[in-house]
Amino acid sequence: MTRDWWKHLVLILGAIIVLAPFYMMVSYSFKSPGEIDRGIGGFFGRQEMMIDPRCVALRQPGRADIEAARTRFPGQDDAGVQAALLAETEADCSMRPAVFNYSKAFTEAPLIRYLLNGVIVTVSIFLIQIVVALPAAYALAKLKFWGREAVFGLVLFCLLIPVHAIALPLYIMLAKLGLTNTYAALVVPWTISVFGIFLMRQFFMTVPDDLIDAARMDGMSEFAIVWRVMLPTAIPALLAFAIFSIVAHWNDYFWPRIVVTGNRDLFTPPLGLREFKGDGDGSFFGPMMATATVIVTPLIVAFLLAQRRFIEGITLSGMK
């Protein structure tokens, strides 16, 4: 036993606090509504067959169905046929809770479409952020021009402005331009990332001036230096920035909620969660948590894939 056991204890407690909501989310996404309500069933629930009440309600046999099915149940009166049909429907509508939750997540709302929207929006934002931030950061870090320090001061100042403070003016501007309910409304306000400019500028400060001078001697223009020299050396920093940017915009609920009103084709994944927010008749926690699990999975997978590169990038000084 090492003397550092208490450090591990603190870390384990922290890990539990961080992981508990994820545990609940994944667990709920497997369980039946009854198990969720009563808080029983362990992690997986008992996975007993359950009947989807809405499925049954939607397929309630009518007069025509009874007439059509009469031949299949000879010698039964109407009530008998109806009971038999109901039993069939219930058999059709019964499934394991896990299957129920996940199939609901994908069928009740066009979740695939939402995920696609999420990819389109986050990738567009990230790419445009790089296109803007890299040249800006290069200029702030390596070029000498009048007012450079003042401009950098402005960048730092902009870091202090909370998004929510400028949400309303932004919304009004977009509305006046007729851009609400478009991809542009989701992407454009985020294309200039002062955080990205700041982060890349700090990284570029560590790139030796000699490297840039060598590129100039070799005949590269300033833009070629940004894209052919600075970009490849900045991959570790870009990965770090990518994690911040993509996580923030993939998970963003506030901004899409404001600028996308009504048009479900533009919903991003977090907006999809609203589909299961039952207003009068209670919430569908199972499908909702299944949706949440589906939404966070791509991020976790992406981080696990990039993790090695990311940490390598941060520990490698790159230039030396």
Partner 1 sequence: MAGLSITSVKKRFGETEVLKGVTLEIEDAEFVSLVGPSGCGKSTLLRIIAGLEDPTSGDIAIGNETVTGVRAADRNLSMVFQSYALYPHLTVAENIAVPLRMRSLSTSQRLPVIGPFLPGAQNKRADIASAVQHAAEMLEISALLDRKPGQLSGGQRQRVALGRALVREPAAFLLDEPLSNLDAKLRVQTRAEIAQLHRRLNATFIYVTHDQVEAMTMSDRIAVMMDGEILQCDAPSVIYEDPSDIRVAEFIGSPKMNILPVEVRDGALSLFGQSMGRAAEGAQSDVFQLGLRPEALRLAESNPVLTGSVTHVENLGAEVFAQVDLADQTTRVTCRAAPTERHKVRLGASVGLSFDLRDALIFDADGKRQRRFEASLSQPVEAA
Interface with partner 1 (CB under 8 A): 208, 210-211, 213-220, 229, 232-233, 235, 318-320
Taking the least distance from each CB to partner 1, the nearer of 63 and 320 is: 320
Taking the least distance from each CB to partner 1, the nearer of 211 and 239 is: 211
The least distance separating partner 1 from the CB of residue 258, rounded to whole angstroms, comes to: 40
Taking the least distance from each CB to partner 1, the nearer of 63 and 144 is: 144
| Encoded tokens for 89 | 């429907």
The least distance separating partner 1 from the CB of residue 233, rounded to whole angstroms, comes to: 6
The least distance separating partner 1 from the CB of residue 310, rounded to whole angstroms, comes to: 17
Helix axes of 235-250 and 194-205: crossing angle, nearest 10 degrees = 170
How far are the Cα atoms of 105, 193, 249, 264, 290 from residue 110, in angstroms, in the given order? 8, 30, 20, 9, 14
HSE at residue 102, side-chain half, CA atoms within 13 A, is 9
Taking the least distance from each CB to partner 1, the nearer of 50 and 207 is: 207
The least distance separating partner 1 from the CB of residue 240, rounded to whole angstroms, comes to: 17
Q: Is 94 helix (H, G, I), strand (E, B) or coil?
A: strand
Taking the least distance from each CB to partner 1, the nearer of 13 and 314 is: 314
Q: Is 152 helix (H, G, I), strand (E, B) or coil?
A: helix
Backbone angles phi, psi at 280, to 5 degrees: -90, -40
Cα 38 from chain centroid? 30
The least distance separating partner 1 from the CB of residue 136, rounded to whole angstroms, comes to: 22
The least distance separating partner 1 from the CB of residue 211, rounded to whole angstroms, comes to: 5
For the chain, report the end-to-end CA distance as a whole number of angstroms.
40
Taking the least distance from each CB to partner 1, the nearer of 213 and 265 is: 213
Helix axes of 285-315 and 97-108: crossing angle, nearest 10 degrees = 80
The least distance separating partner 1 from the CB of residue 203, rounded to whole angstroms, comes to: 13
Q: How far apart are CA 121 and CA 212, in angstroms?
A: 34
Taking the least distance from each CB to partner 1, the nearer of 137 and 271 is: 137
Select from 230, 232, 242, 226 the least CA-distant residue to 206.
Answer: 230
Asked if residues 50 and 100 have their Cβ atoms less than 8 Å apart, the reply is yes
Helix (H) or strand (E) segment spanning residue 283:
none
